[in-house]
Structure 1
Amino acid sequence: MKNMSLEKIAQACGGVYHGSEEMKQSIVESITTDSRQAAKGCLFVAIPGERVDGHDFIPSVFEKGALAVLSEKELANPAGPYIQVASSLEAVKGIAEYYRQQLDIKVVGITGSVGKTSTKEVIASVLAQKYNVLKTLGNFNNELGLPLTVFRLRDEHQIAVLEMGISHFGEMHRLAKVARPDICVITNIGQCHLEFLKDRDGILRAKTEIFDFLKEDGCIILNGDDDKLDTIEEVKGIKPIFFGVEGQRPVYADEIESLGLSGIACTIHADGESIRVTVPIPGGHMVLNALAATAVGRALGLTMQEIKAGIEALEPVGGRFHIINHGDIQIIDDCYNANPVSMKASLDVLRDAKGRKVAILGDMGELGENEEQMHAEVGYHAAKNKIDLLICTGKISSHMAEAAMANGGCGEVLQVPTMEALLTCLPSLIQSGDTVLVKASHFMHFEKVVKKLQEI
């Protein structure tokens, strides 16, 4: 890792180095918070958790060849040098900020209420047609995950595509301080984290903290179809590039054609050029994701043909509208997370599926005081789309079921109170030829439902 000596790392995080003078100049080869991934030459960061304290694993990581550890505690007779800090989590951000500035690399920062991960995947797939790209893996998009992603960067990487997720004011400011983005992408301003951000104006303020550390010659790419983002006229003298399907944006799509669960086709226009593209993941929202990727690609010098190749090479991510063909049923694994906008979008895609349409939906979290109403709106949307079987699980999702039954439209509506009850009754509810959507907020652990469906 470039310029990452133990001495420099201690300075970057305000820590106190303990160890021999000759080891101070030793270069760290990797940084991890997972003792299972500790390897020769690494820096192990010990983080105290609710159930597990990383400090307990310090002896074992030295046995695996760790160069040093970062600790909140004073260590007695450690097997190697260590850096003592007041807070491991805060130290990680300081180290990541320092390391980011050692690298000559472009950073694309992506945020928004809905579609961050799918947009990140399309952008990374497009940019990989020309550049060596590193992208955020899984859900490593918070104040620990983002630094750990930054630590994976090496000299050979040319572009980092970083997903940035928040739920409180000030978080995005701290993430942006680490990422120092050259390009900022915001997908939309929806109804996530209302418990903490209160309303969509609050979400807009929190998300746009991403601009706080935008490079002076940076680029801003926004969804112009979003009524909140469309109000942004200029940031630090930089005029945003808008994309959308409503009106003639600098980057826009038309001739949109649903291909069912096979994807969605559209014609994308940018800089006076046009391409016909098939996005291999279904849903109208994927057109907007492809447009964001087109805008980023053009900003970084890709041709329209390179952009087309990248979009069409896109592969689904588990838990994010991943279609699984299991015997004679189709499972739409969209269980990683949920909010009212993404729930309705997924139901819209299910509406166009073949066979009997089954939606297994669970609670959505962090919606604030209007959570009951928002769950009811999803139930009404399911009824509007004439879902054949709607199964709702969780305490708040009862409002989905009640709204769907009150408005008619669904063939059958079931309210199953617990996960255990749901897993027990699933085999008797699913029929040959069904297409089954599985979606809920992450805390509901609906990956268990997907696993159970694959056992039927």
Structure 2
Amino acid sequence: MEIKEIYNNFLQTTGIATDNRKINTDNLFVALKGDNFNGNKFALSALENGAKFAIIDESEYKIDDRFILVKDSLTALQQLANYHRNQLKIIIIGLTGSNGKTTTKELINAVLSQKLNTKATIGNLNNHIGVPLTLLSFDSSTEIGIVEMGANHQKEIEMLCGICQPDFGYITNFGKAHLEGFGGTEGVIKGKSELYEYLSSHHKTVFVNSDDAIQNKKTTNINRITFGINNTANFVNITKIETNPMLKIEFEDTTIQSHLIGLYNANNINAAITIGKHFGITNDKIKFGLENYIPNNNRSQLLEKDTNKIILDAYNANPSSMNAALTNFFQLEEKYKVAILGDMFELGIESSDEHKKLIEFCFNQEDINFHFIGKDFFAHKNSNTNMNFYETFETFQSAFPNQKIENSFLLIKGSRGMSLERTLDLL
């Protein structure tokens, strides 16, 4: 079936579903496949649960005209999303980077939605499936779509750009994330810069942090709008930054008291300010949007539990984000501080060295009690009296009742697979 015909069927539905257990009435079900599942087997169930049509790619499951048979369901989903994007003809902002993508996306959305009908990637649906689903959630009332693009190997951002065709782009940073898939730090820079290559070849515009030397160099021949700190940029400049521990910034005649933790979030806020101003959002509305954004989902959340204050940043971790979080934590003027840190994943052959470097980064912080959790940290355990090492979360859990952590400021950070938010139940 031609993509135009599939699109006409899509227009008769209430949206896309890929899980037959989560069907809304008149959805279009797309039968995707994975290593351990075959969505074709659940297409009939999806229709029985209320779906209007089902896209399948195995002919044996086609029973009647409600089943749309294609060569490959995933490819059909991606083509459908691209076709929809071109029918809507809306402005798309593409966003990627090693750290801070989701937070920055939410900040941009918080600002732009003060004036424009804006939709953004939900959660972190930012891969080869999530990006099409995001695009297909936009409709004729959408004025600007913010599409987060994640990647862990070369050519992935290129492929996602081909689907969403961004008009504007922003890369948060180049950090030590997914080193295994990208093949090292240079591979990360090359892979993320595929967004720049797309925007340059299509004569589009990038937003650039002028304080980032690598990004400055890579965007000299692209139409760009820059922001920075203390008059380094041509558009928006933050003139003052404070953390106590919430981040407060000043630009032009405006002061913004955010709910975000850490100096590293200053650039994320500045990107949102810059993009907002470019699209005509006034300073007072930018202030309102940013001050009313409250982080969740274990991302830089400031919590209080009994007598303790907690920075919960357990959604993900890599050497760059861990270093930034610790640098901020070290600067906080608190009497009793505890850092609970979990292993960083997907670092490949550099994993051992990066975990060792992070431990060494903490050596001179004798006033902080460190708890390193996971086999990669455990492999570099030492005898420092303020450093504790646990090979698993379970061993940490067993030892935790003896810690008696009270009236302290805690940082909890680790890769998603470590699930360090479980620590909250121990406090």
Instruction: Give the TM-score of the pair, scaled to structure 1.
Output: 0.86
Deviations along 1:367-396, one digit per CA (max 9) or x if unpaired, are 233222221222122333445221111121
Asked whether the 8 Å contact 2:211–2:232 carries over to 1, the reply is: no
Q: Does 1:384 align with 2:368?
A: no
Aligned position for 2:243: 258
Asked whether the 8 Å contact 1:167–1:193 carries over to 2, the reply is: yes
Q: Does 1:354 align with 2:334?
A: yes
Aligned position for 1:325: 304
C-alpha distance in 2, partners of 1:371/1:285?
A: 23
Aligned position for 1:15: none
Please point out which of 421, 427, 434 is paired with 2:395.
421
Does the C-alpha gap of structure 1 residues 214 and 428 become closer, same or farther in structure 2, counting only changes over 3 Å? same
Aligned position for 1:224: 210
Please point out which of 437, 440, 448 is paired with 2:411.
437
Residue 316 of structure 2: SS of its match in structure 1? coil
Structure 1 unaligned residues grouped into runs of 5+: 1-5, 13-22
Residue 267 of structure 2: SS of its match in structure 1? helix
Deviations along 1:89-124, one digit per CA (max 9) or x if unpaired, are 222211111111111322111111111111111111
C-alpha distance in 2, partners of 1:228/1:299?
A: 23
Residue 35 of structure 1: SS of its match in structure 2? coil
Residue 141 of structure 2: SS of its match in structure 1? coil
Aligned position for 1:19: none
Residue 411 of structure 2: SS of its match in structure 1? strand
Aligned position for 2:258: 279
Residue 44 of structure 2: SS of its match in structure 1? helix
Asked whether the 8 Å contact 2:261–2:302 carries over to 1, the reply is: no
Residue 297 of structure 1: SS of its match in structure 2? helix
Does the C-alpha gap of structure 1 residues 83 and 380 become closer, same or farther in structure 2, counting only changes over 3 Å? same
Please point out which of 221, 224, 243 is paired with 2:227.
243
C-alpha distance in 2, partners of 1:130/1:330?
A: 35
Residue 55 of structure 1: SS of its match in structure 2? helix
- How many pairs align? 424
Residue 410 of structure 2: SS of its match in structure 1? strand
C-alpha distance in 1, partners of 2:373/2:157?
A: 32
C-alpha distance in 1, partners of 2:325/2:334?
A: 15
C-alpha distance in 2, partners of 1:9/1:36?
A: 28
Deviations along 1:236-258, one digit per CA (max 9) or x if unpaired, are xx432222226521222222222
Does the C-alpha gap of structure 1 residues 60 and 275 become closer, same or farther in structure 2, counting only changes over 3 Å? same
Asked whether the 8 Å contact 1:279–1:286 carries over to 2, the reply is: no
Asked whether the 8 Å contact 2:17–2:23 carries over to 1, the reply is: yes
What one-letter code is carried by the residue in structure 1 that aligns with 2:248? A
Please point out which of 328, 342, 348 is paired with 1:368.
348
Query: 1:328 Cα deviation (Å)?
Result: 1.8
Aligned position for 1:204: 189
What one-letter code is carried by the residue in structure 1 that aligns with 2:247? I
What one-letter code is carried by the residue in structure 1 that aligns with 2:142? H
Please point out which of 418, 422, 425 is paired with 1:448.
422
Structure 2 unaligned residues grouped into runs of 5+: none
Aligned position for 1:304: 283
Asked whether the 8 Å contact 1:359–1:387 carries over to 2, the reply is: no
Query: 1:50 Cα deviation (Å)?
Result: 3.1
Query: 1:334 Cα deviation (Å)?
Result: 0.8
Asked whether the 8 Å contact 1:176–1:211 carries over to 2, the reply is: no
Asked whether the 8 Å contact 2:120–2:146 carries over to 1, the reply is: yes
C-alpha distance in 2, partners of 1:299/1:190?
A: 27
Query: 1:24 Cα deviation (Å)?
Result: 6.1
What one-letter code is carried by the residue in structure 2 that aligns with 1:28? T
Instruction: Give the TM-score of the pair, scaled to structure 2.
Output: 0.91
C-alpha distance in 1, partners of 2:129/2:141?
A: 23
Residue 119 of structure 1: SS of its match in structure 2? helix
Residue 328 of structure 2: SS of its match in structure 1? helix
Deviations along 1:297-355, one digit per CA (max 9) or x if unpaired, are 12211122222222212211221111222222223221111011211222233331635
What one-letter code is carried by the residue in structure 1 that aligns with 2:339? A
Does the C-alpha gap of structure 1 residues 425 and 84 become closer, same or farther in structure 2, counting only changes over 3 Å? farther
Residue 352 of structure 2: SS of its match in structure 1? helix
Query: 1:69 Cα deviation (Å)?
Result: 0.8
Q: Does 1:193 align with 2:167?
A: no
Aligned position for 2:25: 40
Does the C-alpha gap of structure 1 residues 68 and 348 become closer, same or farther in structure 2, counting only changes over 3 Å? same
Asked whether the 8 Å contact 1:232–1:240 carries over to 2, the reply is: no
C-alpha distance in 2, partners of 1:34/1:11?
A: 19
Q: Does 1:93 align with 2:78?
A: yes
Residue 151 of structure 1: SS of its match in structure 2? helix
Aligned position for 2:169: 184
Asked whether the 8 Å contact 1:7–1:25 carries over to 2, the reply is: no
Query: 1:152 Cα deviation (Å)?
Result: 1.3
C-alpha distance in 2, partners of 1:124/1:413?
A: 40
C-alpha distance in 1, partners of 2:392/2:10?
A: 56
Aligned position for 2:51: 66
> What is the root-mean-square deviation of aligned Cα atoms in Å?
2.4
Asked whether the 8 Å contact 2:20–2:49 carries over to 1, the reply is: no
Deviations along 1:52-88, one digit per CA (max 9) or x if unpaired, are 3323322221112211111121234636522223332
Does the C-alpha gap of structure 1 residues 322 and 365 become closer, same or farther in structure 2, counting only changes over 3 Å? same
Q: What are the residue-to-residue correspondences of 1:79-90 with 2, within 5 Å? A: 81-90=66-75
Asked whether the 8 Å contact 2:177–2:320 carries over to 1, the reply is: no
Deviations along 1:162-208, one digit per CA (max 9) or x if unpaired, are 11110111100111111211210111111112223234332222112
C-alpha distance in 2, partners of 1:63/1:317?
A: 35
C-alpha distance in 1, partners of 2:367/2:225?
A: 38
Q: Does 1:294 align with 2:273?
A: yes
C-alpha distance in 2, partners of 1:180/1:220?
A: 13
What one-letter code is carried by the residue in structure 1 that aligns with 2:121? T
Residue 147 of structure 2: SS of its match in structure 1? strand
Residue 241 of structure 1: SS of its match in structure 2? strand
What one-letter code is carried by the residue in structure 2 that aligns with 1:255? K
C-alpha distance in 2, partners of 1:67/1:217?
A: 40
Asked whether the 8 Å contact 2:14–2:27 carries over to 1, the reply is: yes
